[in-house]
Structure formats: structure tokens, C-alpha cells
């Protein structure tokens, strides 16, 4: 049985057209594949842009949440009297010997005010470290702006006691800033 060839299936006068048709089909198939690949690449790039945008939006959301937490800790001007009470309460919890306490002048800025207090304590290094940690982790936003430590000397003998001078500050939002 002789093999099947193109000459037997397609009549000789149509073979030229069949070959051209096959070439046209292959060329069309190639260009269609290229167009589909380009569309796929464009979709991939678009998805990458969307993914990046979502990541950035999530980061902005996280940053806004952090800002809200800080704003919640920074109280309004009406609550400024709580600051001195909070400092005194924390010093009392530590049983620190409070030598002196003095409020410093109020500093006003466009959106907030800075209230500071100068403390002098008779304490140990350990107690002082715990006190500073309590100040900076308190519910009310407070921070230690200045800290001077002097060792105490008694009868030519060093003791573990120190005199510490601290400036503790807090920020209060102006009433107009709270309304924003």
C-alpha cells in the first residue's frame, strides 16, 4: 500500500493554495500568540502596580493608626493638670525622696503646648532607671528631656545614693488642634 502524500489528498492545482494557506495560518497563529503574550504581560504589570498600591495603602493605614495612638496619648489643654498629678503619683509609687518639684514656663506652639516640670530626687541608680521607664511608658504622653546625676558623698565614703535632676515634659494639643 503506497503512503499517503499531499499530492494524493490535495489535487495538484490546489496544492499551491494549501501551502500558502498553511503559511498564512502559521503566521496568524504566531502573531495571535504574540498579542496574547503582550496582553498577559500588560495584565501582569497592572497586577504588580495594584499589589504595590495595596502595599502602600496598607503602610499608610498602619502609619495613620500609629499617629492616632500618639494623638490619643497627647491630651488636650483641658487635661494639663493631670500631668503634675501623674508625675507625683509615679514618684510616690517608687517611694522616691522628692527633694524639689518646680513647673517650668509653658511653651506654646501653633498646634500644641509643651509643659515641663523640674524634679530633684534623692534615689539610687536602679530606682531612677525604673522611674524613667515608668515616665516614658505612662498612659499620659511624657518624656525625660534632661537628666543630671550626681553621686552623693558622705564622710569621704561613696554611697549608692545619687541626686538626680530631671526635666519631665509633656505635650498638650491646643483646643483648636483638637477640633481639627
Question: What is the predicted pLDDT for the residue at 105?
Answer: 85
**In terms of domains, do 100 and 42 share one?**
no
User: For every one of its 180 residues, what pLDDT tens digit does the chain have, with 9 covering 90 and above?
Assistant: 455 555 567 777 787 888 888 888 998 889 898 999 999 999 999 999 999 999 998 998 888 888 777 666 655 545 566 778 888 888 888 878 888 888 888 888 888 888 888 999 888 888 888 999 998 888 888 899 899 988 877 645 556 788 899 999 888 777 654 444
What are the φ and ψ backbone dihedral angles of 94, each rounded to 5 degrees? Answer: -90, -5
Position 1 in a domain: no
Distance CA 173, CA 180 (A): 11
Distance CA 89, CA 96 (A): 11
Element (H, E) at 160: strand 157-173
**In terms of domains, do 17 and 47 share one?**
yes
Confidence (pTM): 0.53
Of 35, 53, 71, which marks where a domain is finished? 71
Enclosing domain of residue 35: 6-71
Question: What is the predicted pLDDT for the residue at 71?
Answer: 65
- The beta-strand segments (E) located in 83-128 are 97-103, 107-108, 112-124
**In terms of domains, do 89 and 117 share one?**
yes
Question: What is the predicted pLDDT for the residue at 15?
Answer: 78
Q: Which residue has the cell 535632676?
A: 165
Of 22, 39, 71, which marks where a domain is finished? 71
Looking up residue 172, the CATH number of its domain turns out to be: 3.30.70.60
Amino acid at each position: 500500500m503506497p503512503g499517503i502524500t499531499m499530492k494524493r489528498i490535495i489535487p495538484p492545482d490546489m496544492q499551491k493554495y494549501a501551502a500558502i494557506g498553511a503559511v498564512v495560518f502559521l503566521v496568524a497563529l504566531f502573531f495571535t500568540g504574540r498579542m496574547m503574550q503582550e496582553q498577559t504581560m500588560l495584565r501582569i504589570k497592572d497586577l504588580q502596580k495594584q499589589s504595590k498600591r495595596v502595599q502602600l495603602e496598607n503602610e499608610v493605614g498602619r502609619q495613620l493608626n500609629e499617629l492616632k495612638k500618639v494623638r490619643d496619648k497627647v491630651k488636650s489643654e483641658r487635661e494639663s493638670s493631670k500631668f503634675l498629678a501623674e508625675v507625683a503619683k509615679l514618684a510616690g509609687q517608687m517611694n522616691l525622696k522628692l527633694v524639689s518639684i518646680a513647673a517650668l514656663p509653658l511653651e506654646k506652639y501653633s498646634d500644641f503646648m509643651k509643659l515641663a516640670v523640674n524634679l530633684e530626687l534623692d534615689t539610687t541608680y536602679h530606682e531612677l532607671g525604673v522611674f524613667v521607664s515608668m515616665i516614658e511608658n505612662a498612659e499620659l504622653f511624657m518624656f525625660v528631656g534632661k537628666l543630671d546625676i550626681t553621686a552623693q558623698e558622705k564622710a569621704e565614703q561613696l554611697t549608692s545614693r545619687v541626686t538626680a535632676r530631671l526635666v519631665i515634659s509633656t505635650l498638650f494639643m491646643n483646643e483648636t488642634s483638637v477640633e481639627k
